[in-house]
Amino acid sequence: MKMWDQISEAVKQLARGNLVALPTETVYGLAASIDHPDGILKIFETKERPFFDPLIVHIGRPEQLKDLVEEVPVAARILAEEFWPGPLTLVLKKSSRISDQISSGLDSVGVRLPNHSVTRRILRQLKIPVAAPSANRFGRTSPTEAHHVREEFPGHSFLIVEGGQSHRGIESTVVRPTPDRIEILRPGPISDHEIRRVLLEKSLEIPVVFLESSASPGHTPHHYQPEIPLVWSPTPTLSADDLGGIARNLHLKSSTYKCLELPSEAHLAARLLYQELRRLSKEPIDFILFCPPARLTGDWRAIFDRLQRASSLQL
């Protein structure tokens, strides 16, 4: 299908309440219009996602935010102006426009304006925000290409919009501004340093803190897992003892493995992370070994967060 046809077909499907997989700069999302409760239900069913895990709402224009939330605090406005369109999700007190089904009964909602030209066109034409979690089965590695979504849901019947490789490669930073501090609920492509810098530039001196994952219901300790186990090791070579220990621990009959090798620069590493996990999962090996590169540059916090959750074992 040509890109223009994909865009109009996506708008049509979403307006009818059907699911559509949309490309974003972070990862692909599985979207439904917020005006269609049956579509939202299909997201949970298709992903086998527990109902306690709230969905992020995606908008095509910044002006759409005010209808979705009770109020936009100053810090949220500054961050949206700086980082939208982009990989930043703002968690704010929700308005009556957001159902309990979307927010999982919480009184807040996560909103973001994705930075992908195709998806922005779709959202602008639709004029209604969509709820969209990452387009993977619950707890699994997020898709960064259209064919990953196809592999994730064999026999699917929804449209998958082809939008190339997600250039950020990991999910958005989830931020909750409160009156006395900015809480980061999920680390992501936008770092705490960048958030602090932007607020300071606007003379807003407010602490920026990382919160434990319990504040973000879906950010569970075991998430993002590849199809075969991932083992985190401080060194690239494993002794016979290590191998025996890993096999016992993970109940493996043998212990062949390949290393997950990532570039030392954080942006590049993030872009390749999920793609590499998927590729290695298809190899005839028993587990994937991750050992951090010797020399790291940039901010690795979000990548380490995902790898920690994706690991079945840490040596």
Residues at the site binding ligand TXA, with contacts judged by CB under 6 A: 24, 26-27, 29, 53-56, 87, 89, 91, 103, 106, 108-110, 112, 114, 132-134, 171-172, 174, 185-186, 216-219
Phi, psi of 11 (to 5 degrees): -60, -45
In angstroms, what is the C-alpha Rg of the chain? 20
Q: How far is the CB of 173 from ligand TXA (least distance, A)?
A: 8
C-beta of 137 vs 181, nearer to Mg ion: 137
143 binding partner (options ligand TXA, Mg ion, none; Cβ < 5 to 8 Å by kind) = none
Q: Which residue is nearest to Mg ion (CB)?
A: 134
Among 26, 89, 119, 134, binds Mg ion (CB under 5 A): 134
| Residues contacting Mg ion: total by CB under 5 A | 1
Contact 173, 189 (CB under 8 A): yes
For residue 196, give the 3-state DSSP assignment.
helix
With left for phi above 0 and alpha for psi between -120 and 50, is residue 20 left, alpha or beta?
Answer: beta
C-beta of 37 vs 245, nearer to ligand TXA: 37
Give whole-number Cα distances, 84 to 56, 78, 190, 194, 229, in Å.
15, 10, 11, 13, 36
C-beta of 132 vs 146, nearer to ligand TXA: 132
Phi, psi of 133 (to 5 degrees): -85, 170
182 binding partner (options Mg ion, ligand TXA, none; Cβ < 5 to 8 Å by kind) = none
Q: How far is the CB of 216 from ligand TXA (least distance, A)?
A: 4
For residue 299, give the 3-state DSSP assignment.
coil
**Binding window for Mg ion (CB under 5 A); candidates: 94-102, 130-138, 248-256, 270-278:** 130-138
Q: What angle do CA 140, 137, 49 make, to 5 degrees?
A: 110
Specify the length of the chain in residues.
Answer: 315
Helix, strand, coil abundance in the chain, percent, nearest 5: 35, 20, 45
C-beta of 161 vs 289, nearer to ligand TXA: 161
C-beta of 56 vs 184, nearer to ligand TXA: 56
Q: How far is the CB of 314 from ligand TXA (least distance, A)?
A: 21
Any contact of residue 46 with Mg ion (CB under 5 A)?
A: no
Q: How far is the CB of 170 from Mg ion (least distance, A)?
A: 10
C-beta of 213 vs 264, nearer to ligand TXA: 213
- Strand (E) or helix (H) holding 314: strand 313-314
Alpha helices in 142-191 (DSSP H): 146-152
In angstroms, rounded to a whole number, what is the distance separating the alpha carbons of residues 263 and 123? 34
**Binding window for Mg ion (CB under 5 A); candidates: 132-140, 183-191, 263-271, 276-284:** 132-140
**Binding window for Mg ion (CB under 5 A); candidates: 116-124, 127-135, 242-250, 255-263:** 127-135
Among residues 134, 133, 140, the alpha carbon closest in space to that of 227 is found at 140
C-beta of 36 vs 47, nearer to Mg ion: 47
Give the footprint of Mg ion on this chain (CB under 5 A).
134
